[in-house]
Amino acid sequence: MNDPSKPMFWRDLRMPYVELRKVGDGRKVCYAPHSHTQWSLGAITEGKSTFLYRSDQFEVSAGALVVINPNWVHACNPIDNQPWGYLMLYIDTDWLTKLRYESGLLGTPCWQDISTAIISDHKWYTGYCRMAECLLDSNRELLEKQTVVVEYLTALMHELSGQASEPVSKTPDNFQALADYLRAHAAVDVSLDTLCERSGFSPGHLIRSFKRHFGLTPHAYLINYRIQRGQQELKHGKPIAETALNVGFADQPHFQRTFKKLLAATPKQYRQSLLNQQIDTTGGK
């Protein structure tokens, strides 16, 4: 069994700007005051701990987020050997600066520290946990992981700055071209970087604006189209395993889970209903 006191790190060379650390039992994980070059966002997932942040000290418990600016001295440690667990996301400062600048939150592409130290709003905690779950899941695709990180951090940056998201400024034709590209490349791994290069959009603007136009993020749009294609293949009698690979899923179980999530029926149930319809048409009432 895995030792919960040992940290687990998630990294992906295709997303070098983000790293995630997970500790299930932090009682044996004690820190001297230190700092990071990255901007860091932590979530207390269990128990309580102390959070030393420069000259301030807080007691934080499960459901809270801690915000740590680059090069700010800090330390988190257990209280009287009580259980506590946490997740810590490290974001490259230059990457986050660019994200904030392109979102209209910075007047110049230069880092500005964020004054907030603790976030207690539960919606940001649950969103953080969903993001971490996505990153840690080896079955999730690159575009989904990139989308969840950009979408969450962009929204959080607007929240912390007290500014609303910027309005859509591109014409629908730009989004239609992206949608056409996604459909044409539905069976391969598409990256957010590629979509940005093709459109000229920043990651945050692309995701929000695409979602406003189509009601889905680019990744959700891609998955939805794959399932639509899967339905067509199943209608033509293709085996489920073959269909899964043809439409861009890594394996049959992933296809089956997604199919059921979107259509409330398994691929097998869908195929069987088609067979029953054929029987009724040829020999039924």
CA distance 60 to 195: 39
> What confidence tens digit (pLDDT) does each residue in 53-93 have?
988 999 999 999 999 999 888 888 777 777 788 899 999 99
CA distance 72 to 92: 15
Is the pLDDT score of 271 beyond 80?
no
The answer to whether 125 touches 65, Cβ cutoff 8 Å, is: yes
CA distance 146 to 165: 19
Which range has the worst mean pLDDT, 25-39, 66-80, 194-208?
25-39
Please state, rounded to an integer, the average pLDDT across all residues of the chain.
85
> Please, what CATH class does the domain formed by 8-161 belong to?
mainly beta
Is the pLDDT score of 180 beyond 60?
yes
Q: Where are the beta strands (DSSP E) in 155-246?
A: none
Phi, psi of 20 (to 5 degrees): -125, 135
pTM: 0.77
Domain ranges of the chain: 8-161, 167-285
Is the pLDDT score of 284 beyond 50?
no
> Which residue, among 197, 190, 255, 198, has the nearest Cα to 218 in the 3D structure?
190
48 or 96, higher pLDDT: 96
Is the pLDDT score of 220 beyond 80?
yes
Which range has the worst mean pLDDT, 29-33, 86-90, 192-196?
29-33
Query: Which two structure tokens, joined as six digits, stand for 176?
Result: 């239609």
Is the pLDDT score of 281 beyond 50?
no
CATH value of 167-285 in 1.10.10.60, 3.40.228.10, 3.30.470.20, 3.40.50.360: 1.10.10.60
